[in-house]
């Protein structure tokens, strides 16, 4: 099989999975198609430097996730600057304080995910954004099920640590709500 045929087969075999991975982050069909095309275009440009070995699926998947995250950050940045025609998370009915808190929380979540080690980040996104089961993640990335479980444990622990201030606020608000229910 020629190198071109191998790359075509790689595209046909992985396009749908890479698209789903991108959609789990971006939630925009057109952008996902562009992102997957960009991944394969960059791969094609670097084909002489890369080997088509067993790790190539992980490489393509990670490249897709990284481009998707970068795209989502760009859209968010433009949305916050008030660009028209892009996805905006702002609601006309929410008060400005709620929007600011929600925006700050989302930014903290994005930053915490971006700060995860590479493997943890990939596994976390596959699990939480794409809804894949651990065994599916293990099969896709060529890892053992135990490795996926351990990496998810590490990811969740780091996210809990990074987002602890928000978790504490949520607990306090829940307690206040419970007290008000008991008093009223």
The model's pLDDT over 4-16, given as tens digits with 9 standing for 90+, comes to 788 888 889 999 9
Distance, in Å, from the CA atom of 13 to the CA atom of 56, rounded to the nearest integer, reads 12
3-state class of 89 per DSSP?
Answer: coil
- pLDDT < 50 stretches in the chain: 83-93, 184
Cα-based distances in Å from 35 to 41, 113, 131: 10, 20, 20
Residue 115 token pair: 């700060």
CATH number for the region 1-80 comes to 1.10.1740
Q: Distance (Å, rounded) from C-alpha 30 to C-alpha 49?
A: 29
Output the pLDDT for position 84. 42
Whole-number Å distance between alpha carbons of 35 and 11: 13
Instruction: Say which CATH topology domain 108-184 has.
Output: Arc Repressor Mutant, subunit A (1.10.10)
* Phi and psi at residue 92, to the nearest 5°: -70, -25
* pLDDT at residue 168 in the model: 67
Q: Are 95 and 55 in contact (CB under 8 A)?
A: no
Cβ–Cβ under 8 Å, residues 7 and 44: yes
Fill in the DSSP letter of residue 55.
Answer: T
pLDDT at position 173 = 58
| pLDDT tens column, 25-48 | 888 899 999 999 998 888 888 877
Ordered by start, the domain boundaries in the chain are 1-80, 108-184
In whole angstroms, what is the distance from residue 99 CA to residue 83 CA?
17
Question: Does the pTM exceed 0.75?
Answer: no
What is the spatial distance between Cα 6 and Cα 56, in angstroms, rounded to a whole number? Answer: 12
């Amino acid at each position: 099989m020629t190198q071109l045929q191998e790359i075509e087969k790689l595209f046909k075999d992985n396009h749908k999975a890479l698209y789903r991975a991108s959609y789990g982050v971006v939630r925009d069909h057109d952008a996902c198609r562009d992102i997957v095309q960009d991944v394969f275009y960059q791969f094609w440009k670097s084909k002489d430097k890369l080997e088509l070995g067993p790790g190539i699926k992980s490489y393509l998947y990670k490249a897709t996730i990284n481009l998707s995250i970068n795209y989502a950050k760009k859209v968010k940045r433009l949305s916050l600057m008030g660009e028209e025609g892009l996805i905006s998370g702002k609601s006309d009915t929410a008060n400005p304080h709620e929007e600011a808190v929600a925006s700050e929380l989302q930014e903290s979540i994005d930053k915490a995910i971006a700060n995860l080690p590479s493997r943890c980040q990939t596994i976390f996104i596959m699990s939480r954004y794409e809804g894949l089961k651990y065994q599916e993640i293990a099969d896709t990335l060529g890892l053992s099920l135990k490795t996926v479980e351990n990496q998810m444990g590490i990811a969740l622990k780091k996210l809990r640590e990074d987002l602890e201030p928000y978790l504490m606020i949520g607990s306090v608000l829940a307690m206040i709500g419970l007290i008000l229910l008991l008093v009223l």
